[in-house]
Amino acid sequence: MREKRKEERDWNAVFQWFHKHPELGFEEKMTTEKIKEILKEENIETLNLNLDTGVIAVIQGAKEGKSIAYRADIDGLPITEKTNLAYRSVNTGMMHACGHDLHSTIALAAAVRLNRLKSQLCGKIYFIFQPGEEVADGAKRIVQTGSLKEVTEYYALHADPDLPVGTFGIKEGAVMAAVDKFQVIVKGKGVHAATPYLGNSPIPPMIQMVSALQNMIPNKISALHPCVLTVTQINAGNTWNVIPEEGYFQGTVRSMNAEDRKWIRNKFAKTVQAISDAYEVEVDIQWYAGPSAVVNSRELVDRMEFVCEKSGAKSERIESAMISDDFSIYLEDNHAKGIYIRAGVGKGHPLHHPEFQVDREAIHRSIELVENMLITALEK
């Protein structure tokens, strides 16, 4: 299958360039141009997406076969980097603290290598360089271009600082949570703090709402179904002697089961409204539904274990995580199979930490694995 490699690009240098030049979601213009530049140098076809940022490259094998896709996210985070790396971020207040610099490098390297083998490949591979994953809207914009209708299998890899280099985490079923955001605005009647009976403070009903919501899941959802409801911000008033007119609280819900997700939203609204009615205050519930849970195909998990064994990499069964990824949107679009893998980057600071780092050895180990994975996918 393999032919002698042509001169290999310095992928470590490419990774360092991405790390040094992070850009926020839908602002990844330099990143997009860098990706296009490398793809053009390798004579790899790219699609016209009519998007400001993001790229889809296509490798067409010489023989007929299925169409698969590999997704890499390209955006950074609004975090000030605190590492001492020689190639640390030069963009103030921005950092690749989630491994998207690694993801972009892996996808580019795999595209280049497989393009040089395309005369031996059956089928087609789409390499998606997706913008805006951190704001959970990039996958939707890519799907809306209509470029991926024929894709039947999607693959993605994410950096994992809880795993050692050379270990790849896999799991059948739900591996990343569905995410929803909520904000509840409570409106009462503001008055002087000395005469509370003349007004109607929003604070007591807010306290009751938060308490009831925090106890809702453990009392009503099976302990075997991972769910989290977290209130992250409460705000009301701005001084000590005035009862405020209104207040608000907001937070997030994370769930793995679609029925649980639906029940939580319904019960959330009923609970908040009941307390609002009891205290005779007005309430405005704002609910923002994010991506659904990422669910790994059993067939692709089994195939991934085979690839790891064949390529000398270590596979490890991992637990589900309550963080989210809009990779699930690709799977929903045409009911395709998918697998979301975690790549060990060396144990260290967690994702989204200002000192997060990727062990450079993880770059080459991950490139090899992704290349073998995609070749195997086309052969099956």
Q: Which residue's structure tokens are 């490098």? A: 105
The total of other beta-carbon atoms located within 10 Å of residue 222's CB is 9
Q: Cα separation of 259 and 209, whole Å?
A: 23
Q: Is residue 167 part of a domain?
A: yes
Spatial strand order of the sheet with 178-187 comes to 227-236, 246-255, 178-187, 282-289
Tell me: pLDDT of 2 over 80: no
Q: Which domain holds residue 84?
A: 11-175+293-379
pLDDT per position as a tens digit, 194-240: 999 999 999 999 999 999 999 999 888 998 899 999 999 999 999 99
CATH of residue 151: 3.40.630.10
Strands (E), the chain: 45-46, 55-60, 63-73, 122-130, 151-160, 167-170, 173-176, 178-187, 191-192, 227-236, 242-243, 246-255, 282-289, 294-296, 314-317, 337-344
Q: Cα separation of 40 and 46, whole Å?
A: 8
278 and 215 in one domain? yes
| Domain C-terminal end among 289, 322, 339 | 289
Return the structure tokens found at 25. 């979601």
310 and 166 in one domain? yes
19 and 157 in one domain? yes
322 and 209 in one domain? no
At residue 55, the pLDDT reads 98
233 and 254 in one domain? yes
pLDDT per position as a tens digit, 318-334: 999 999 999 999 999 87
Chain-centroid distance of CA 111 in Å reads 21
190 and 339 in one domain? no
Counting the structural domains of the chain, the total is 2
Q: Which residue's structure tokens are 């967690």? A: 350
138 and 57 in one domain? yes
Return the structure tokens found at 246. 């209104």
359 and 299 in one domain? yes
| Domain C-terminal end among 236, 259, 289 | 289
CB neighbours of 288 closer than 8 A, spacing ≥ 6? 180, 181, 182
CA-to-CA dists, residue 331 to 249, 253, 275, 322, 334, angstroms: 33, 21, 39, 19, 6
Closest CA to 160 of 329, 315, 378: 315
280 and 311 in one domain? no
pLDDT per position as a tens digit, 338-372: 999 999 999 999 999 999 999 999 999 999 999 99
At residue 98, the pLDDT reads 98
CATH of residue 226: 3.30.70.360
| Domain C-terminal end among 259, 289, 319 | 289
277 and 303 in one domain? no
Q: Is residue 3 part of a domain?
A: no
At residue 347, the pLDDT reads 94
313 and 227 in one domain? no
196 and 169 in one domain? no
Angle between helices 29-41 and 11-20 (to 10 degrees): 160
